[in-house]
Every structure is written in structure tokens, then in C-alpha cells.
């Protein structure tokens, strides 16, 4: 269960950094963008562990976690794609 909580915390860290970059409080540079992608890989790894390596969840809980994590993954991909678009068009 703790991995799922870490996954959600990492989601909010990624979105917080995205908000800072889009809001102009933080520069959009390649090193920051690569750091965001690294956090996204960690998010995907936690998603994998919470679904496939946690025996304490029932089938119903796994389905709920999968749906929520899939939605969060799409949101992260949209945010990272937007940052990449901003960086490439500068």
C-alpha cells in the first residue's frame, strides 16, 4: 500500500514542477525536463510494483489502482509533452 501512496506523491511532485515551469517560476531547460522524465520512469516502476508485486491487494483493488494510475499516467504524459513542445519551440 505504501508504494501506491509514494506513486501518488510522485505524481503531485511532477505536476508541481510542471506548474512551476509553466508559471514562469522555474526555467524550462533540458536538465529539468530530463529530471521530469526520470521521475516519470519512477512513477511507472511504482505502478508496476503496486500491480504485479503486491499480493495484499484483491482483484477489485488492483483494477481500481490500474484505472487511477492509467489516468495519472496520461496526465503526466500530456504535461511532459507540453513542456517538450515549449522547449523545442523556444
Which among 66, 45, 44 has a CA at the least distance from the CA of 57? 66
Q: Residue 53: pLDDT band by 50, 70, 90 thresholds?
A: confident
Q: What is the pLDDT of residues 6-20, one digit of tens each?
A: 899 999 999 999 999
C-alpha–C-alpha distance, residues 71 and 17, integer Å: 19
pLDDT at 72: 93
DSSP the chain: -HHHHHHHHHHHHHHHHHHHHHHTSS---HHHHHHHHHHHHHHHHHHHHHHHS-TTS-HHHHHHHHHHHHHHHHHHHHHHHHHHHHHHH-
Asked if residue 82 has pLDDT above 90, the reply is yes
**Where does the pLDDT of residue 85 fall: very low under 50, low under 70, confident under 90, or very high at 90 and above?**
very high
Predicted TM-score (pTM) of the model is 0.85
Amino acid at each position: 500500500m505504501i508504494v501506491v501512496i509514494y506513486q501518488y506523491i510522485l505524481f503531485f511532485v511532477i505536476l508541481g514542477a510542471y506548474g512551476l515551469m509553466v508559471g514562469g517560476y522555474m526555467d524550462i531547460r533540458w536538465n529539468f525536463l530530463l529530471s521530469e522524465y526520470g521521475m516519470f520512469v519512477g512513477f511507472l516502476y511504482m505502478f508496476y510494483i503496486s500491480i504485479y508485486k503486491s499480493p495484499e491487494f484483491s482483484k477489485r483493488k488492483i483494477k481500481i489502482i490500474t484505472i487511477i494510475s492509467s489516468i495519472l499516467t496520461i496526465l503526466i504524459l500530456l504535461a511532459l509533452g507540453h513542456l517538450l513542445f515549449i522547449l523545442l519551440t523556444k
